[in-house]
Structure 1
Amino acid sequence: MRLIIAIVSAISRGLGVIAALCLLSAVLSVSEMVFVRYVLGHSTIWQTEFTTYAIVAATFLGAPWVLIQRGHVNVDILQLAAGPRLRIAMEVLAALFSLLFVGLLAYAGWVHYEEAWSNNWTSETVWAVPLWMPLLPMPVGTIMLALQYVAEIMRLFVEPDAEDGASRNTLFSDTAEGTRP
């Protein structure tokens, strides 16, 4: 189980690096666009569209890394007030609901990508980008986000709690809440 967690997390971290590179490329394309438009006085063709696609790709591809970093929105006031068993149960339940949502989003993203691929859709701009390219990060990112949610659920049961060093597997523990054997 630890190997699966490590592999999924490594892929998610790699996607985080790719997301950062997408954001960097968006910044560079905007800078180039400003230079070409306002310094050279020429029109631009691809920069606005590329920047939009790069930012969207960074959003989807970076989402699994954000989950590892606990950067997603999380209202945890009830979790913090709950005992260890209830806290783990609430974390698992929240992750399962999130997994369901992300799974549906991944399916919809895949259907949309497949339609763009099979119908040879292109953008309605001068650049005429084949739309499968900017649509691919959505299913890739959401599938990896779903796998990262599975890894995070697995992590709840196999890795020690950072707070006290005790096993996080208190949901199935025979000891009473808050006590150690």
Structure 2
Amino acid sequence: MFRDTLLTLLGRVTTGLGGLALLITLIDILYGVVTRYVVGQAPIWSDELARYCLIASALLIAGNVWVRGEHMRVALLERRLGVTARRVLLGYQWLLTLGLALAMTWWGWHYALSVGYFTSQGLGISRTIPMMAMPLGFGLLALQVLIHGPTPLPQPGADDTDAAEEAAS
């Protein structure tokens, strides 16, 4: 199905970018530790870069985590409701997630642009650059939520009984 292919592709791209940001974080922290013990002090930009990359990695993979149902949530009610009530609940959850992701995209965009006149202390770059991780991450989340639609999310870790009940409904 085209929807599943598109979600898989977006998931791979965002997870790859998030993994790259995490790898940069790891290398940067190791570099900071080595320079701290060899030279006596770490570069001032090291902690700042690690912080920005860690935030970016979490925001970039949020959509893929949501689509795969691997985010923290309580699905007990969702599994126990009847078919009609479950559809209403899934629609509500989907609309709420989509609305929040779109609102955070809009707010993040305006915030990132509003801090453009300021530069970061360590890296000396416009604060807009690292702050763009917010609208980008939430925008990708909104896109993946929109493509997924108000359908049930996978429930990793659900036992076989719950999976059989879910398949029957």
Q: Which range, TM-score by smaller chain? A: 0.7 to 0.9
State how 1:1-181 maps to structure 2 within 5 Å. Answer: 2-4=1-3, 6-116=5-115, 119-123=116-120, 125-153=121-149, 163=164
By percentage of residues, which structure has more helix?
A: 2
Maintained 8 Å contact 1:26/1:55: yes
Per-residue deviation at 1:9? 4.2
1:151 partner amino acid = I
Q: What is the RMSD of the two structures over their aligned residues, measured on CA atoms?
A: 2.3
Per-residue deviation at 1:24? 1.5
- State how far apart, in whole Å, the 1-side matches of 2:51 and 2:14 are: 18
Q: Percent identity?
A: 24
Which consecutive unaligned segments of at least 5 residues does structure 1 have? 157-161, 168-177
Higher mean alpha-carbon deviation, 21-30 vs 4-13, is at 4-13
User: TM-score if structure 2 supplies the norm length?
Assistant: 0.82
User: TM-score if structure 1 supplies the norm length?
Assistant: 0.77
1:150 partner amino acid = L
Q: What CA deviation, in whole Å up to 9, does each residue of 1:33-88 have, x standing for no partner?
A: 01001123244121100000000101111101111221222111111111233223
- State how far apart, in whole Å, the 2-side matches of 1:126 and 1:136 are: 18
**Count of residue pairs the alignment pairs up:** 159
- State how far apart, in whole Å, the 1-side matches of 2:127 and 2:72 are: 30
- State how far apart, in whole Å, the 2-side matches of 1:107 and 1:126 are: 27
Task: Specify the structure having the higher radius of gyration (Cα).
Answer: 1
